[in-house]
Structure 1
Amino acid sequence: MPATTPSDAGDDNCTANDVRLELGQGDAGAGSRYRPLRITNVSGTPCTVRGFPGVSYVAGDDEHQVGGAAVHEGDDGAPVRLATGETAAATIQLVNVHNYDPAQCRPTPVRGLRVYLPQGTASKFVPDPGTGCASTDIPGHQLSVKSVHPA
């Protein structure tokens, strides 16, 4: 059953403990990969997500941040109410950092992504090994994210 977009979602925001996060299959183009961040309600009660997840690359056993956090693209979108087992998604653009000048980018191996749900304060780790720019002084952004929508 697909997630619904109600006209008046309550204050029952999904928390990190309420959901499972994973990256779905995506597309590539124009020097980037586009992957849906799938947000599935695994709690026993409905909850709501709205807006932009916080996303950044992390590395090392301590999961320290690599480079800047993802920039938001588009508008906040409508609230998405998730019953148990339902999924919402937010598209993440991951730029191929090998297109940047290595001296400016400072390519760094990453383990994956740190993700904060919209309105959330606790993060979750999503594995996605690759390479990020350690520098925040690059032309453009290495990560961007769109708002959550029904999957």
Structure 2
Amino acid sequence: MVRGHFPRIGLGVATAAVAAVLAGCGTAGTENAQPQSGAPTTPGATSSSPSTSQSTTEPDAATSTKAGETLCKSGDLKLTLGRGDAGAGTVYRPLIFTNVSDRPCVIQGFPGVSYVAGEDGHQVGPAAVRQGEKGGAFTLNNGDTAYAEVGFVNVQNYDTVTCQPQPVRGLRVYPPQETASMFVELPTTGCASEKIPGDQLTVKTIEKGNGE
């Protein structure tokens, strides 16, 4: 918070009168910072990326935790992509979070997911659209896993002009309630256009297990 003092002074003069001074001050605040994105790490690796530019992938809203428990952060987690099942032009794969820290942490809600490309890690197309209800919070101990099901539409089914297909390197992922992103390798093709019919990526709430 930045504080500044801006005096306002009034002065009256009359016979046998004395001067009186009134002063006041004001404050100005700042809004909450938005999550920042970073370029993907070396293909095949997962990490928390440093902040470089604003991303359109928003983390899930915060929730409360029990005394002594902390929310799972990107640095606590290993990120992998499980095997998928195809259906109606869409492949569904579990995005798996494993607690690799030495302490338990709490996880809840929807991760933020988007395609990224290039050495600068720029986002390709819209972020994944949330499907279904937000699940309850649960604890991940060391070695425990949680997953969110991600739907990948076959973008080859879209008109090329409408889709504006681009090669992508993988996924930028924000764990729920986290502003530091992670990266998982997935060489494929994404639609760069924001105006495709339907959603090229969807994501469901975090659940216990590995989804396989």
1:26 is displaced (CA, Å) by: 1.2
1:146 is displaced (CA, Å) by: 0.2
Answer yes or no: is 1:36 the counterpart of 2:88: no
The runs of 5 or more residues in structure 1 that have no matched partner are: 1-7
Task: Select 1:76's aligned residue among 128, 134, 141.
Answer: 134
Answer yes or no: is 1:101 the counterpart of 2:159: yes
Question: CA separation in 1, counterparts of 2:107 and 2:132?
Answer: 16
The runs of 5 or more residues in structure 2 that have no matched partner are: 1-63
Task: Select 2:119's aligned residue among 61, 65, 68.
Answer: 61
Corresponding residue SS for 1:45: coil
RMSD over aligned Cα, in angstroms? 1.1
Task: Select 1:124's aligned residue among 173, 176, 182.
Answer: 182
Question: CA separation in 2, counterparts of 1:139 and 1:56?
Answer: 17
Aligned twin of 2:47: none
Question: CA separation in 1, counterparts of 2:81 and 2:138?
Answer: 18
Corresponding residue SS for 1:33: strand
The runs of at least 4 consecutive aligned structure 1 residues that moved more than 2 Å come to 8-11
Question: CA separation in 2, counterparts of 1:34 and 1:146?
Answer: 10
Question: CA separation in 1, counterparts of 2:168 and 2:90?
Answer: 16
Question: CA separation in 1, counterparts of 2:93 and 2:70?
Answer: 27
Question: CA separation in 1, counterparts of 2:138 and 2:90?
Answer: 27
TM-score by length of 1: 0.93
Aligned twin of 2:170: 112
Q: Larger radius of gyration, structure 1 or 2?
A: 2
Corresponding residue SS for 1:89: strand
Corresponding residue SS for 1:98: helix
1:9 is displaced (CA, Å) by: 4.4
Q: Is the 8 A contact 1:80 1:88 kept in 2?
A: no
Q: Is the 8 A contact 1:80 1:148 kept in 2?
A: no
1:66 is displaced (CA, Å) by: 0.1
Which piece of structure 1 moves more, 8-17 or 129-138?
Answer: 8-17
Higher relative contact order (CA 8 A, sep 6+): 1
Corresponding residue SS for 2:115: strand
Question: CA separation in 2, counterparts of 1:120 and 1:150?
Answer: 18
1:80 is displaced (CA, Å) by: 2.3
Aligned twin of 1:4: none
- Partner AA of 2:132 in structure 1: G
- Partner AA of 1:138 in structure 2: I
Question: CA separation in 1, counterparts of 2:152 and 2:197?
Answer: 14
Aligned twin of 1:149: 207
How many residues get paired?
A: 144
1:75 is displaced (CA, Å) by: 0.7
Aligned twin of 1:47: 105
> Which one has the bigger strand percentage?
1
Question: CA separation in 2, counterparts of 1:50 and 1:146?
Answer: 11
Corresponding residue SS for 1:17: helix
Per-residue CA distance 1:62-107 (angstroms, 9 max, x = gap): 1110000000000110112100000000000000001111101001
